[in-house]
Amino acid sequence: MPRRPRYVIAVHGGAGDHPEEHDRAVRRALRSALAIGRDTNVTVLDVVQDAVMALEDDPVLNAGYGSNLTTDGRVECDAALMRGADGAFGSVGAVSGVKNPIRLAGAILDASRRPRVLGRVPPLTLVGEGARQFASQYGVELVDPETLVAPHARELWEKWSVRLAEVEAGATLTEDEKMGGMQDTVGAVAWVEGEGMAAAVSSGGILLKLPGRLGEAAVYGAGCWATPNLACSVSGTGEDIVRTGLARTIVETIVARGTDATHEVLHELLAETFWESSLASGELEPSAGALVMVRESDNSNEADENDSALRLWCAFTTPSMAVGYTTSTASKHKAVILRRPAELSASNCAETGEGDRPKARVYITTLSIET
């Protein structure tokens, strides 16, 4: 019997402000996703896709069932995935009534690699009703859109819809009143021996978003990116992430400067590039988180996988980010809610800003993974 390939899977439940009373449920969701991805282990795309599907099915997270609702009370989802070996990519945006948006993104990716008929160019991204029609044609499970509305998502929508109407009618908005912590996106990165890396991302988007709005999870280069040796999945405020093409920018900058510079790259791109771009657009509390898997080696992309090490990085500007990981040799699936410490240390945090401008507070952590 041939030896089963080695692999590493990492998932995230979004960057945001996770209430401590939800920690157990979020960690359980992450471990369930790792178990499903680990059991699949067919191809690196299967691994990230199935892991994200499990996250989409859990109502505690903002993706699939459990997604934030639009202003008119509907679930509209974005999702994408990318294979590093050949750059294959597929994404879906603002789609309703699809049980697992990441599955539809995978079907779009598959269709993009088939021979072209009559010179027709296959899509990278499909949105709205066209995406739903494609799902029906390619056997992706469709459901009644109402079945994707989780009870807690309906409660939040009702609460904040009323408050939005009051404020728009002239009611006073209190200084600390905001919908923070409800914008997070889920995702996964993975490495499979002999195949390289892949990345995926899925999101229900911002609470009370306008119907038809696209977030970073639907946009090429924004929500996820992968090369043979690097994979990145991003979470946060979609519009600001799209402006900086954050996932692609992170990966390509690390490639250009070398994996030894990963900490500095994450610091510069989140605490400076992303932060400044977000402030310029009017965002006072820029929100982003990145889960990055790096294959470290002294050689090129052709390096022997046995002579390289994998390292997982997590960086975020928000109060917290939920992450988990497992490997082919691990006895347990690791899941944790990372929280930015009140006192920032020079070793793992970056705090920048002058005068009255909001300071960037970026938490960065890493671990080396045995494969």
Residues recognised as catalytic: 185
Look at phi and psi of residue 355 and say left if phi exceeds 0, alpha if psi is from -120 to 50, else beta: left
DSSP code, position 221: T
What separation in angstroms does the CA of 115 have from each of 80, 101, 119, 126? 22, 24, 9, 19
**Alpha-carbon distance 217 to 257, whole Å?**
26
**Alpha-carbon distance 251 to 198, whole Å?**
12
DSSP code, position 41: -
The count of other CB atoms within 10 Å of the CB of residue 162 is 10
Pairing of strands 89-95, 125-127: parallel
Structure tokens at 276: 């400044």
Structure tokens at 69: 């609702």
Nearest to 325 by CA among 262, 368, 363, 267: 368
61 touches 186 (CB < 8 A): yes
**Alpha-carbon distance 85 to 269, whole Å?**
25
**HSE-up of residue 228 (Cα within 13 Å, Cβ side):** 13
**Alpha-carbon distance 337 to 18, whole Å?**
8
Q: Which amino acid is at 300?
A: S
Query: Alpha helix locations (H) across the chain?
Result: 23-40, 44-57, 101-112, 128-137, 151-168, 238-244, 246-257, 262-268, 275-280
